[in-house]
């Protein structure tokens, strides 16, 4: 069965990269109107936050900038509504600094009843930080600002409307920073960290403690890239999902199982997205998650990767593992009007959204002509659209995937028991195969990993996890000739003892292919020996023996103390020729640039094996290649 047939369900879940319109008609709003028009003295208005006060009125704050740019001076203004957003008071300035720009406001109701507020204070590209203020009188007065971003990065801002109070009472603020700041120019790379408080904002702790959540991929070389402007939702007590903006054409995600004390490495989600920020929320009293984002993706389009002419929502019933198709909330009549950066707040069973309404036909450059728009949707709009669509192929037999390679494919080098390496089921085993399986399962793709080996599995207490398929053909220490011909596989003593054997011997690749009949082969080999002629013969033999779609990857970068690390580039440079030759011969083969996805920072001290972040990046790269390969066959 073809790769196209097996991955058809994935194409149903992912909007085409050049999507023009969501399938569903937009729900009818209760309220929809401009509430702050742009003006000569405030060309840009946006990045708002709103909250319900004790008397039932709504308090809205936003950044009002004199000109259109992110770094143009701005001040924070506020408005109030006493009729659930139908009418608003005139804007008034509440925070201002003659030498700095104040914007990116976030509200939260603390568990002690106080209001908490964060905002950015920016002077230039090497002088920006996040502050926290408190109000004990429901927004009538505010405390002096307290800096909550640390001093590790000269430029730390953070997305608007992203201050959260968890079920535990913990307060979390999402921040992002520039890893290579420039005082005069915006750009990347960008990364995310969080700060949290367990004492109502009096003291704050950073997480991750030193690193940032980052995405190195920048396939169309945008000037600003990385992982930034994230959103977060608590989908169960202490369990958090974060989705963030990247330049890859996809949202990337990170998760926390401990109230945000620690976070997983960022990995690609299944949601296509332009270079624009997402918003997450949850329908109150339900398990329904709501994702709001700009749905139209075209990475080749300038800096934005897709015009922001629409805002749409998706829903999830499984903690963000799968998402429904996008449904438009608002779609502009033409591409001269953009809508983005929505703030959200549930009030009396309705979702209030306040977003930027950008008139690009305005003579001013950049984002000149940016108004604030208020839109209200009933919760029923989301409850009616909760089920992801299924394809007729969803009941097809599982996609048979052969992971083929060496110890990097096996992936048990992080696992230890009693201070020694172990090949028995372990929480740190499974390598990139584990993360790839998570992605396939989240996309509702039925899979069956195949191969001669089943040790080095993800699991606990020596038992394979019920959601993990342990089969693979990752032959530790094997070069290309050994993979081609087979032989005795170096195996840890605990595995041999558990199996009751003295050695494990595997057949050559021809017999393996005939036995397991894969639909897809994921090949990365050559780190042991750099034998390009043997690799080419291995690829030709696979093409002569199997009709499977072969995805062949460049090998990862290496570094000292790994002997021969200098040979990696030459070995990889010789790979495209054999791939092109096989394509010309009518073989189903795709080149995957794994080397570009990984840096030497993603390696263990041995200089050859990837660390957990590296393995997660590998899984994302394999997953993206599978998707792209399907699109080309369509």
CATH code for the domain in which residue 521 is found: 3.40.50.1110
Which of 20-24, 106-110, 466-470, 628-632 holds the top average pLDDT? 106-110
DSSP string, 147-212: E-S-SS-SBEE--TT-EEE-TTS-EEEEEEEESS--SS-----EEEEEEEESSTTSS-EEESSS--
Residue 385 binned pLDDT confidence (cut-offs 50, 70, 90): low
- Could you give the number of structural domains in the chain? 2
Task: Give yes or no: residues 375 and 432 share one domain.
Answer: no
Please determine, for residue 96, whether its predicted confidence score (pLDDT) is greater than 50: yes
Task: Give yes or no: residues 441 and 344 share one domain.
Answer: no
Task: Give yes or no: residues 437 and 563 share one domain.
Answer: yes
Assigned domain for 181 exists: yes
The per-residue pLDDT for range 324-382, each reduced to its tens digit, is: 999 999 999 888 899 999 999 999 999 999 999 999 875 444 455 899 999 999 998 98
Q: How far apart are CA 32 and CA 353, in angstroms?
A: 9
The pLDDT value given to residue 301: 82
The pLDDT value given to residue 220: 87
Assigned domain for 389 exists: no
Assigned domain for 116 exists: yes
Residue 427 binned pLDDT confidence (cut-offs 50, 70, 90): confident
Cβ proximity of 137 and 124 under 8 Å: no
The secondary element (H helix, E strand) that includes residue 281 is: strand 279-282
Q: How far apart are CA 302 and CA 235, in angstroms?
A: 35
Please determine, for residue 111, whether its predicted confidence score (pLDDT) is greater than 90: yes
Task: Give yes or no: residues 134 and 190 share one domain.
Answer: yes
- At residue 230's C-alpha, the angle toward residues 98 and 179, to 5°, is 65
Q: End of a domain among 361, 383, 405? A: 383
Residue range of the domain that includes 250: 10-383
Please determine, for residue 389, whether its predicted confidence score (pLDDT) is greater than 50: no
Task: Give yes or no: residues 167 and 290 share one domain.
Answer: yes
Assigned domain for 2 exists: no
Task: Give yes or no: residues 66 and 133 share one domain.
Answer: yes
The per-residue pLDDT for range 29-78, each reduced to its tens digit, is: 777 899 999 998 999 999 999 999 999 999 999 999 998 877 889 999 99
Residue 20 binned pLDDT confidence (cut-offs 50, 70, 90): very low
Assigned domain for 5 exists: no
The secondary element (H helix, E strand) that includes residue 4 is: helix 3-6
The secondary element (H helix, E strand) that includes residue 484 is: helix 480-485
Task: Give yes or no: residues 495 and 411 share one domain.
Answer: yes
The pLDDT value given to residue 466: 83
Q: End of a domain among 383, 409, 431? A: 383
Please determine, for residue 256, whether its predicted confidence score (pLDDT) is greater than 60: yes
Distances, alpha carbon 426 to alpha carbons 362, 412, 413, 617, in Å: 59, 8, 11, 20
Task: Give yes or no: residues 596 and 453 share one domain.
Answer: yes
> Which residue in 114, 90, 117, 113 sits closest to 105, CA to CA?
117
Residue 402 sits at φ, ψ, to 5 deg, of -105, 105
Please determine, for residue 16, whether its predicted confidence score (pLDDT) is greater than 70: no
Assigned domain for 4 exists: no
Buried b (16+ CB within 10 A) or exposed e, 290-317: bbbbbbbbbbeeeebbbbbbbbbbbbbb
Assigned domain for 207 exists: yes
Length of the chain: 634
Task: Give yes or no: residues 465 and 424 share one domain.
Answer: yes
In the chain, pLDDT over 90 holds for what percent of residues? 72
The pLDDT value given to residue 421: 83
Beta strand pairing status for 228-236 and 239-245? antiparallel
Please determine, for residue 10, whether its predicted confidence score (pLDDT) is greater than 50: no
Q: Where are the alpha helices (DSSP H) in 199-315?
A: none
Assigned domain for 388 exists: no
Buried b (16+ CB within 10 A) or exposed e, 355-364: bbbbbbebeb
Task: Give yes or no: residues 449 and 559 share one domain.
Answer: yes
Mean pLDDT of 276-284: 96
Task: Give yes or no: residues 295 and 408 share one domain.
Answer: no
C-alpha 32, offset from chain centre: 31
Please determine, for residue 545, whether its predicted confidence score (pLDDT) is greater than 50: yes
Q: End of a domain among 349, 383, 417? A: 383
Q: How far apart are CA 525 and CA 554, in angstroms?
A: 8
Mean pLDDT of 457-484: 91
For the chain, what is the mean pLDDT?
Answer: 89
DSSP string, 455-502: -S-BEETTEE-TT----BEE-TT--HHHHHH-EEEP--HHHHHHHT-S
Residue 632 binned pLDDT confidence (cut-offs 50, 70, 90): very low
Task: Give yes or no: residues 284 and 401 share one domain.
Answer: no
- At a CB cut-off of 8 Å and minimum separation 6, what does 595 contact? 553, 554, 555, 556, 557, 568, 572
Q: Residue 277: give its domain's CATH number.
A: 2.120.10.10
Range with the lowest mean pLDDT among 98-107, 440-449, 499-508?
A: 440-449
Q: Please, what sign has the CA dihedral across residues 403, 405, 406, 407?
A: negative
pTM of the predicted model as reported, rounded to 2 decimal places: 0.63
């Amino acid at each position: 069965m073809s790769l196209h047939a097996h991955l058809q369900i994935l194409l149903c879940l992912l909007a085409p990269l050049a999507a023009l319109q969501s399938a569903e008609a937009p729900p009818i709003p209760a309220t929809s109107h401009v509430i702050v028009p742009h003006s000569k003295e405030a060309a840009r208005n946006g990045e708002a936050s709103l909250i319900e006060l004790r008397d039932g009125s709504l308090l809205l704050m936003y950044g009002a900038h004199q000109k259109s740019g992110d770094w143009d001076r701005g001040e924070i203004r506020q408005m109030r509504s006493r009729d659930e957003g139908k009418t608003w008071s005139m804007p008034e300035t509440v925070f201002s600094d003659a030498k700095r720009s104040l914007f990116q406001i976030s509200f939260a109701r603390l568990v002690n009843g106080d209001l908490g507020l964060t905002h950015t204070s920016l002077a230039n590209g090497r002088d920006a930080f996040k502050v926290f203020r408190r109000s004990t009188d429901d927004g009538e007065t505010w405390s002096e600002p307290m800096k909550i971003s640390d001093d590790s990065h000269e430029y730390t801002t953070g997305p608007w409307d992203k201050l959260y109070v968890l079920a535990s009472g913990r307060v979390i603020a999402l921040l992002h920073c520039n890893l290579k700041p420039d005082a005069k120019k915006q750009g990347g790379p960008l990364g995310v960290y969080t700060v949290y408080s367990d004492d109502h904002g009096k003291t704050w702790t950073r997480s991750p403690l030193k690193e940032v959540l980052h995405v190195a991929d920048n396939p169309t070389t945008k000037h600003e890239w990385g992982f930034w402007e994230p959103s977060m939702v608590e989908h169960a007590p202490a369990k958090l999902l974060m989705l963030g903006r990247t330049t890859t054409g996809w949202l990337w995600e990170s998760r926390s199982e401990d109230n945000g004390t620690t976070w997983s490495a960022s990995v690609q989600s299944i949601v296509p997205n332009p270079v624009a920020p997402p918003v997450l929320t949850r329908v109150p009293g339900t398990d329904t998650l709501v994702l709001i984002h700009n749905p139209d993706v075209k990475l080749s389009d300038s800096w934005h990767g897709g015009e922001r002419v629409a805002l749409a929502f998706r829903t999830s019933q499984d903690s963000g593992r799968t998402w429904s198709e996008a449904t438009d909330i608002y779609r502009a009549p033409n591409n001269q009007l953009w809508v983005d950066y929505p703030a959200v707040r549930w009030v009396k069973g309705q979702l209030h959204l306040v977003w930027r309404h950008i008139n690009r036909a305005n003579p001013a450059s950049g984002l000149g002509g940016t108004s604030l728009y208020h839109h209200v949707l009933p919760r029923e709009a989301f409850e009616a659209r909760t089920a992801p669509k299924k394809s007729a192929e969803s009941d097809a037999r599982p996609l048979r995937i052969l992971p083929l390679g060496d110890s990097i494919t096996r992936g048990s080098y992080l696992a230890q028991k009693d201070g020694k390496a172990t090949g028995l089921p372990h929480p740190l085993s499974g390598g990139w195969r584990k993360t790839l399986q998570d992605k396939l399962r989240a996309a509702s793709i039925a899979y069956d990993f195949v191969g001669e080996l089943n040790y080095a599995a993800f699991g606990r207490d020596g038992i394979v996890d019920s959601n993990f398929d342990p089969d693979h053909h990752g032959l530790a220490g094997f070069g290309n000739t050994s993979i081609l011909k087979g032989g005795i596989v170096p195996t840890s003593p605990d595995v041999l003892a558990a199996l009751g054997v003295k050695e494990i011997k595997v057949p050559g690749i021809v017999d393996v292919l005939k036995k397991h009949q894969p639909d897809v082969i994921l090949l990365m080999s050559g780190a042991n020996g750099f034998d390009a002629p043997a690799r080419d013969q291995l690829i030709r033999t696979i093409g002569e023996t199997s009709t499977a779609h072969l995805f062949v990857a460049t090998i990862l970068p290496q570094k000292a103390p790994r002997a021969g690390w200098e040979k990696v580039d030459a070995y990889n440079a010789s790979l495209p020729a054999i791939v092109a030759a096989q394509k010309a011969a009518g073989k189903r083969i795709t080149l995957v640039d794994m080397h570009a996805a990984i840096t030497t920072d993603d390696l263990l001290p041995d200089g050859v094996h990837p660390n957990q972040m590296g393995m997660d990046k590998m899984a994302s790269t394999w997953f993206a290649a599978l998707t792209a390969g399907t699109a080309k066959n369509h």
